[in-house]
Amino acid sequence: MTKSMNTEDKNFIEGRRSFLKGTAYTVAGASLATGVFKTVVDTPAVAETKFTPTPKTLSFYPPFSEWDSFSELSGEDWKRGGTGRNGVWSAENPTGIKAIEYMLVPAVCSNCEAACGITAWVDIGDYKASKDPRDLRVRKHMGNPLHPASRGRNCAKGYAVQSQMYDPDRIPFPLKRAPGSKRGEGKWVRTTWDEAMETIGKKMHDTLKSGDELSKKEIMYHVGRPNESGFGHRVLYSMGVDGHNSHSNVCSSGARQGLSQWFGDDRPSPDWANSKLIFLQSSHAADAGHFFQQHAGFIADARKKGAKLVVMDPRMSNSAGMADLWVPIWPGTEAALYLYLVNRIVNEIDPKRHTSYINHEAIKDWMNWDVLLKDKEYLEYMVAQGYISKVPAGETYEDFIALLQEMYKPYTLEFAAKECRVDAKSLEKLFEMFIEAEDKVTTYFWRAGTIGNRGGWMNVRAGVLALALRGCMTGDVGNVGQYYFHEIFVNAKGDAATQAGKKPGAVDAWNELLWPPDFPLSTNEPSYLLPHLLADEEWQQNWHAKGVNVPTKLALYIPRMYNPAWINPDGFRWIDVLKNESKMEMTVNLSPTWSETNWYCDYILPTGLASERHDQHSEATMPAQWLSFRQPALRVALEKMGWVAENPTRATLEAHTKAGLGEVWEEVEFWANIMVHHVDPDGSLGVRQHWASKEDPSRPVTIPEWYQAVFENVHHLSIEAKKNPKYAGSKYPNYEMMRDMGTWLEKANIYRPQERELVEEHGAIESMEIKFDPSSMWVDEKGIARAKVLGTDDEKAMGIKMGDKVVAGFNSQSRKMEFYASWMKDWKWPEYAIPVYPTTKEQRQKMVHIVSQVHHDHMVNENDFALNPIFRLSYNIHTRSVNSKHLMEISQNHNPIWIATVDAERLGIKRGDSIKVTISDTVCGLESGYFIAMAVPTEAVLPGTLACSHHAGRWKLQNTVDIPGFDKKLGVMGVGSPLYEMTMDDKIGTLKPKEGIVAGMMARKDTWQFKEYNRDLDNIWWNGLSGSWQNAVAPAHPDPIACNHAWHQKVSITLAGKDEVIGDIYVNYENNFKIYKAWRDELARPLDSTNTTRRPTQLKRPVWPLTKNAWSVEIKG
């Protein structure tokens, strides 16, 4: 049930009215429902200048029709009396009203993954007079009122785009490690983009030219937050390389594993705004929502309508503080709580309605209970495990319900209260609220308990079961759907603009550094283990002996929007490998900002930030399909006013250089240029054709060409662009319309999409964004509809027969919700093929794979605690806040150790005390080291647990960098990072603070770069010394199944010594290496000679096809 923006719909802009009601646009004191100017202030004082003197609400935006030229009062003018004067400002009339003429260029925020719309307000008045691009400047960034999900709003991180754009320590031109210097010495020289492309491109060319298997594994592009929809993947796959790495296994892979087992889809998509109960296993509502202010806004909408909020979190976050019920739960026991709810749902009767609590229609139709009951061998296994007492007599739905009733009966109130350390009255209250909300319960399984704990993915298996039994996972109004139906992923689909005219072929290689054979069920790439795998020669030799061609080095390593040396566990191991030129032969960072990682790179190439590059970006933040278009504001403004680039394939670099932003480029143009001119200049590698322009194959594809083709894949968008009279006669109407609007709503109100009937349209049947050949469709004995992908011989499942119709179903093996993930049995994990959690200590020891490494069984001494490091500061951006003075200011002194008051009193710890936090492992017993932090006793944390966010504790080794031949010093993370002293000796690493931020910045407060925007640097008061780099102390904890890093740590605390200060760390990274091996060798179940494929085909490889040969494996011995 979807509503499309088709040709009969009202004009898109006018259709925004429903979003903007209650957010009244005000102009010159008049409130205008349509958001269109009706009047203009008409006085002699503004005869030459149209402007907005006094908007009455903060939600004011000018009408879309005037975005190319709109005037309003200068911000400085308010300080000089505002509108209380006559006349327009001029040199002869300095007290007159000063208005600024703006062009509003839409873009997309890049400070989280939500893809909120922003507008860059480009001051164009001076440029119009001078025609000098250096007179262009972005005065501010605001929201985009056309955006259907962000609705013109931004959070603090969105508005911080402005301070990031004009960061005084921004890297202004490409840098190269000085010849003769070693990585990490801090010696750099200025280089050019052409030299960098020539050198890097040759390295790529020479690696690929060898043509052997390893050549397809030795180029790695390591992307943190992609903040775009697919382009980065295409970079690697166009070269036939299996080399795209991600950050998901330190972020969300636990949740993704549980969701993949249920749905074959790895992300939920809740309809927050219409729910009756928001039930969170996180601080999602007000602190750490994956899509932040969009989700927070929809949750607020629901609460205004009476929805309740429950927050399950050992820490009283901002979200918990505003909740109707806070459930402070022991980390890792969430599954026990969910299964307590399941027990009551399946075994009790609703006393009000005298009916079962189970939504039988949803379960009978959409859960694979029939698959389980047909598998007699597995049912016998369940009996042997003690899950049930006997095999069900029949194979009916009623037999399945009876099985659930017996299996989950042990999860009583008393058990859950004891296991979860939650008050029984809170659990009873939670159940009441859960039932009262009927099928309108929303949640978001993502980080929190799912990534903090070993076996955290089972929290999702159990949680989904509780919600599914109530009918809350059907994707209906007010409950939870799946993101696959709510996203538009086309940024890589501009192939029609290229010489090849088609997408690159499947990759014929499997990179074991990305998908190790030790963890065949890994949800995503365990990227945090990259330095361990490269350094572990014993591991490499072991798999070589078994016939697996594991890489031992990388020819080229390129991190992008990722700071792995700082954010990942075991940071000194990362630094050790980054410095090792035999393991990483060349390292390149695409970034305009210094980081702990690029300090050890060979090249730093400044690519653009939020309003400085082109990307298509879409996320599933609501039950709709929308997209955002990011673009470089200064370039767009110049082009709209007639400027033409000398080289259209490098227009963004030209525009930024001429406008004074610096030699700042963007990824789309960079990759197209390096591929065509340097990686495969003669086309012999088969790469060039995928980047050369179809219009002119002698050059790379241009931005208008690429995005015209990209947006042709968005059906209603392309129709609207072509019929819009504004773009009549345009060569690139799709691109130009999105350039002007920056956002598009393709479909709204997408509910219960799995029930959508699959019918032929225009010669194809589309399912899950794949077009199938209707003539090849058939239905197998299990009711699964199958067909060939259009134009190929590749047959795939496309839907499921329900009654007399074929509908889409879910993306799982059975096309239903899979209570029984049968492939888990086939891949050596039968005990966890269904949602389960141990109920006794003996069971916990046996089922260690799904028991947290910080379970209270491990807390044996009075100063032992479970440390929770994975909560966000809502105004911090992972590793990307250090270049925003505003965000760094409001993030100060927010990284203490939260300790329960009763625990602090028991240990004699007072507020402000420096404490030593020592990490030890619960698998092998080794100590990792310690960090020194500040204690803050509070009632806002569960006794026995500690909390200390790992998003603080930045460091640098130099305040400035001298560039030979350049007469200015380049500052290094001046507004966000103190100066530290580091030691490393291949075993022990230490870090000790030397100087705070204030001292470092005051020495150069009169910055040479962007002085106009940094006149307030003498207002810096914070020293940045309130946090510790705890990530370096933490060892890698690979979950044996999902392979995510389990972040929580067992720690012991004591008062710090007299010479120990906050920020000190001491790490035995040799022990950390042994801990990683212990988790791998004692807990994982690797591939063996019985396996013929690398991993279950049900667990898809993100995000490009591989050949059958690549999937195949033969293990010796």
Distance CA 858, CA 864 (A): 8
The beta-carbon contacts of 655-662 under 8 Å, at least 24 apart in sequence, are 655/133, 656/608, 656/612, 656/632, 658/133, 658/134, 659/133, 659/134, 659/136, 659/634, 660/133, 660/134, 661/165, 661/612, 661/634, 662/170, 662/171, 662/172, 662/173, 662/592, 662/606
Distance CA 459, CA 1022 (A): 40
| Domain boundaries of the chain, sorted by first residue | 3-158+611-664+714-746, 272-478, 757-807, 857-1081
For the ranges 431-445, 481-495, 566-580, 733-747, the lowest mean pLDDT is seen at: 481-495
Strand partners, 617: 628
| Cα of 350 vs its chain's centroid, Å | 40
Query: Are 511 and 308 contacting, i.e. CB atoms less than 8 angstroms apart?
Result: no
Q: Is the pLDDT of residue 7 over 60?
A: no
- Kindly report, residue by residue over 942-973, the tens digit of the pLDDT: 999 999 998 888 999 999 999 999 999 999 99
- Kindly report, residue by residue over 927-946, the tens digit of the pLDDT: 999 999 999 999 999 999 99
Reduced DSSP (H G I as helix, E B as strand, rest coil) percent helix, strand, coil of the chain, to 5: 35, 20, 50
What pLDDT sits at residue 1101? 86
Q: Which amino acid is at 640?
A: K
For the segment 330-353, the average pLDDT, to the nearest whole number, is 98
Which is nearest to 249 in space by CA: 1080, 1047, 835, 828?
1047
What pLDDT sits at residue 235? 96
The owner of tokens 């946090």 is 1027
Strand partners, 100: 72
The DSSP output letter for 717 is H
What pLDDT sits at residue 54? 64
Query: Are 136 and 124 contacting, i.e. CB atoms less than 8 angstroms apart?
Result: yes
Distance CA 969, CA 960 (A): 6
- Kindly report, residue by residue over 814-858, the tens digit of the pLDDT: 999 999 999 999 999 999 999 999 999 999 999 999 999 999 999
Q: What is the 3-state secondary structure (H, E, C) of 676-690?
A: HHHHCCCCCCCCHHH
DSSP for 1060-1075, written as a single string: --TT-EEEEHHHHHHH
For the segment 982-1004, the average pLDDT, to the nearest whole number, is 95
- State the average pLDDT for the chain: 92
- Kindly report, residue by residue over 114-131, the tens digit of the pLDDT: 999 999 999 999 999 999
Do strands 979-984 and 244-245 pair parallel, antiparallel, or not at all (unpaired)?
Answer: unpaired
What pLDDT sits at residue 82? 61
Q: Which helix (H) or strand (E) holds 182?
A: none
Residue % of the chain over a pLDDT of 70: 94
762: which residues sit within 8 A by CB, 6+ positions away? none
> Between these two residues, 96 and 849, which has the higher pLDDT value?
849
Q: Is the pLDDT of residue 733 over 60?
A: yes
- Kindly report, residue by residue over 1043-1058, the tens digit of the pLDDT: 999 999 999 999 999 9
Query: Are 471 and 678 contacting, i.e. CB atoms less than 8 angstroms apart?
Result: no
| Cα of 468 vs its chain's centroid, Å | 26
The owner of tokens 């440390």 is 867
778: which residues sit within 8 A by CB, 6+ positions away? 785, 786, 787
For the ranges 432-441, 476-485, 622-631, 889-898, the lowest mean pLDDT is seen at: 889-898
What pLDDT sits at residue 28? 29
Neighbours of 741 (CB within 10 A): 22
Strand ranges for 537-583 from DSSP E: 556-560
pLDDT band with cut points at 50, 70 and 90 for residue 80: low
pLDDT band with cut points at 50, 70 and 90 for residue 6: very low
Distance CA 918, CA 912 (A): 18
What pLDDT sits at residue 341? 99
Distance CA 74, CA 311 (A): 44
Distance CA 1034, CA 870 (A): 12
What pLDDT sits at residue 9? 39
pLDDT band with cut points at 50, 70 and 90 for residue 76: confident
Phi first, then psi, for residue 1106 (nearest 5°) are -115, 155
For the segment 183-187, the average pLDDT, to the nearest whole number, is 98
- The CATH homologous superfamily for domain 272-478 is Dimethylsulfoxide Reductase, domain 2 (3.40.228.10)
Query: Are 1115 and 1088 contacting, i.e. CB atoms less than 8 angstroms apart?
Result: yes
586: which residues sit within 8 A by CB, 6+ positions away? 200, 203, 555, 556, 557, 602, 603
| Cα of 304 vs its chain's centroid, Å | 28
- Kindly report, residue by residue over 1028-1039, the tens digit of the pLDDT: 999 999 999 999
- Kindly report, residue by residue over 285-294, the tens digit of the pLDDT: 778 777 889 9
Query: Are 16 and 146 contacting, i.e. CB atoms less than 8 angstroms apart?
Result: yes
Name the H helices within 160-306: 161-165, 193-209, 231-237, 253-263, 292-304
Q: Is the pLDDT of residue 19 over 60?
A: no
Distance CA 225, CA 561 (A): 6
Distance CA 639, CA 656 (A): 12
The DSSP output letter for 457 is H
Q: Is the pLDDT of residue 988 over 70?
A: yes
Neighbours of 860 (CB within 10 A): 8
Q: Select 857-1081's CATH number: 3.40.50.10260, 3.65.10.10, 3.40.640.10, 2.40.40.20.
A: 2.40.40.20
Q: How many CA atoms lie within 13 A of 913 on its CB side?
A: 19
Q: Which helix (H) or strand (E) holds 862?
A: none
Query: Are 508 and 239 contacting, i.e. CB atoms less than 8 angstroms apart?
Result: no
Q: Structure pTM? A: 0.94
Query: Are 486 and 624 contacting, i.e. CB atoms less than 8 angstroms apart?
Result: yes
For the ranges 89-103, 258-272, 349-363, 674-688, the lowest mean pLDDT is seen at: 89-103
Q: Is the pLDDT of residue 8 over 80?
A: no
> Between these two residues, 18 and 164, which has the higher pLDDT value?
164
DSSP for 1015-1030, written as a single string: TTGGG-----TT---H
Q: Is the pLDDT of residue 306 over 50?
A: yes
Q: How many CA atoms lie within 13 A of 670 on its CB side?
A: 26
Q: Which helix (H) or strand (E) holds 945?
A: strand 945-947
For the segment 727-745, the average pLDDT, to the nearest whole number, is 97
pLDDT band with cut points at 50, 70 and 90 for residue 53: low
